[in-house]
Amino acid sequence: MSKSKWIWYPGSFELYHGMLLHNRRTSSRAYEDGSVKSLYYYPMWRVDGPRHNSILIKTAEISKREIIEFYANTELARITVDDTSYPVGAKITLEPGRHTVCVQGFKECGFPCYYIKGNVFASDRTYLVEERDEKAGRHAGESELYTELNDNPEVFKFAYTPIFPLVTERLEGGTLYDFGKESFGPVTVKIPKDGYVDIFLGESREEALDTKYSQIVLNANIEDGSYTSLPVAFRYIYIPNVFDATVTASLEYLPLESKGSFKCDNEEINKLWEVCAYTMLLNSREAFFDGIKRDRWVWGGDAYQSFFVNYYLANDKEIVKRTIRMLRGADPIFKHINTICDYTFLWLCGIWEYYLYTGDRSFLEDIYPEMLDMWNFISGRLDKDSLYERKPDDWVFIDWSTFDSNGPMCAEQMLLCRACQCISLCAKELGDVDTVSEFEKRHLYIKEQINQRYWSDSKGAFIDDYKSGKNNVTRHANIFALLFDYTTNERKEQIIKNVIYNKEITPITTPYFEFYELDAMCAIGDFEYVTNMLDSYFLGMLRLGATTIWEEFDPEKSGIEHYEMYGGKYEKSLCHAWGASPIYLLGKYALGVMPTGVGYKSYIVKPNLMSFNEIEGKVPTPNGEIYVKADKKQVLVLSPISGGTLIIDGKEYEIKKNELLTVEL
């Protein structure tokens, strides 16, 4: 028999789990009587739920008798074989010939899922949405996580490892438990008495001990001497007025295999790579989280960067696909992803880049109609010149910085242009000739408008807004111009001089946009800048005791100032996925591995020692890991796939499958 999987209406799995995770956020509030309560925090955007009823169908010819068994996660379901219907649990014999199998179901509190044991008609993505639905013809949803009959797609599969405090400190007012590093999971507290106990958690020692302003408070009801919480983020746990508790926890995580690796002769950088990998592990869940303490939401810009880190750490396809679908939401679309227009543009870009790094054509085929639907939404919000201009209910983000943003911002046009380019590339892969033509024209038109309207000869740079007359220059649009190759070489040189190396231009202060800036600096070959930033910025956090990468870091701050953000003493996330970019940068530019063809059908290896004396590591591809080792005397490459080219000092060397290539320098 063929291997069956649980199947469902496409997107329902992602929407269901997205609905749950986006409604788990809490915040603490201190009251005048001294009590502190944990309160539900409403999401900042519409949260869609799954389809509660669905019809999936498959027609096929079989050459020999086949027995199928039908199961569902709801009693309100049936299977129809040709013209005869059967209930859940039915075993049906199919004689040789052509048959049509149709499954239908309804589930009020959840989403209907189906499991069919069989051969040709075993449940998998070859089942299609039935023609009475507006999305007829699209493939059924499935996941590699749910292949057994006793699996439950409504319960997300995590792995668990018991963890214990490394240090228990009795203080005058209670007991502080230190687990040694940032963690996420359910906490269990055992106390030899029943009743309500307030438990304060913190990513920092200061936060856990500050019972008025701690962001994570468990109002625990101890029953039979024990209490276990829902999963929460913590390193420290403080229980006031209690000295006889036993505190343990379980690390809850998605068991993604870290196929990528990096080592060099700088042990601090090696530690940084491991800390970045651990940061990603904690934030890789139902989808890519922004951070595990405060939001625990899926933000499009954060996720977009996590995609790239993933391609150099695990190259796991499933979490990227889940994230893309979760961000997309359900029809009809009436607001940008997370209400942020740049995140919508990045969503479109992310689909092409996913295909480039994985070669997953089936997902591209599935998501492509939804890309076009997203564009239809975008096109209704463009101005008369086909440029994007902020609408009253849109959030223009780009970065936490000050922009001249009253009119159509240059940085947004850069992302819009790139989105059109990515739609065109996807359409070309799928043979949609008319769409290729339309979006190639749009891409070239917008690029021309950017260079005509936003370039300032007097500034030697792109300005934020061509309408305001302020000629304000920020780094962001100019960095995009370098990254996306959206201007001439002459202008690029001016940007590097007048913006990148101009200290009077407001610097980037968040790891979020450092991702793009450092990517651009690598692209122009300034590796000294990059390694200096790794040392002063990223290692600066580790030298202060960070066990995961923070949401933001200012070396000029000290003490508790490091934890402040958004007007709160401990609002800053100390485990934020967008800070894991060194994994991507070191894999792509130090080891030098990058695909040039879809799914690594062709690729280059262009190693650069940066400021190191020797480097060694692996980069995951869909078909194995590419190994690279380099020092000042030689470069070694071993790859499980063909199609690669090693580039050293302008010279090219063919990388043959499973043959060690050694080049002496």
Confidence at residue 401, expressed as pLDDT on a 0 to 100 scale: 87
Confidence at residue 171, expressed as pLDDT on a 0 to 100 scale: 95
pLDDT < 50 stretches in the chain: none
Scan for tokens 């063909």, then name that residue: 642
Structure tokens at 143: 């996941």
Confidence at residue 134, expressed as pLDDT on a 0 to 100 scale: 79
Q: How far is CA 658 from CA 493, 606, 637, in A?
A: 41, 18, 10
Confidence at residue 366, expressed as pLDDT on a 0 to 100 scale: 95
The span from the CA of 574 to the CA of 294, in Å, is 10
The distance of Cα 253 from the centroid of its chain, to the nearest Å, equals 15
The span from the CA of 557 to the CA of 191, in Å, is 39
Confidence at residue 220, expressed as pLDDT on a 0 to 100 scale: 95
Confidence at residue 611, expressed as pLDDT on a 0 to 100 scale: 95
The span from the CA of 137 to the CA of 128, in Å, is 5
Structure tokens at 395: 């959030």
Confidence at residue 390, expressed as pLDDT on a 0 to 100 scale: 86
Scan for tokens 């280059």, then name that residue: 604
pLDDT tens-digit readout, 348-377: 999 999 999 999 999 999 999 999 999 999
Q: How far is CA 36 from CA 112, 198, 348, 423, in A?
A: 40, 8, 42, 49
Cis preceding linkage at 332, omega within 30: yes
AA identity, residue 380: G
Confidence at residue 5, expressed as pLDDT on a 0 to 100 scale: 98
**What 8-state DSSP symbol labels residue 3?**
P
Scan for tokens 């010939």, then name that residue: 97
Q: Which residues contact 217 (CB under 8 A, 6 or more apart)?
A: 28, 36, 37, 38, 198, 199, 200, 201
Confidence at residue 370, expressed as pLDDT on a 0 to 100 scale: 96
Do 488 and 481 contact (CB within 8 A), yes or no? no
- Per-residue buried b or exposed e for 513-535, using 16+ beta carbons within 10 Å of the residue's own CB: bbbbbbbbbbeeebbebbbebbb
Q: Which residues contact 163 (CB under 8 A, 6 or more apart)?
A: 179, 183, 185, 248, 249, 250, 251
The span from the CA of 395 to the CA of 311, in Å, is 29
Do 550 and 483 contact (CB within 8 A), yes or no? no
What is the DSSP secondary-structure string of 505-574?
SPPP-SHHHHHHHHHHHHHTT-HHHHHHHIIIIIHHHHHTT-SS--S---TT--GGGGG-BTTBTT-S-S
The span from the CA of 261 to the CA of 242, in Å, is 44
In the chain the domains, ranked by start, together with CATH numbers, are: 7-129 (2.60.120.260), 159-253 (2.60.120.260), 256-299+510-590 (no CATH), 341-396+402-507 (1.50.10.10), 592-664 (2.60.420.10)
The span from the CA of 285 to the CA of 413, in Å, is 32
The span from the CA of 411 to the CA of 478, in Å, is 8
Nearest to 163 by CA among 248, 245, 230: 248
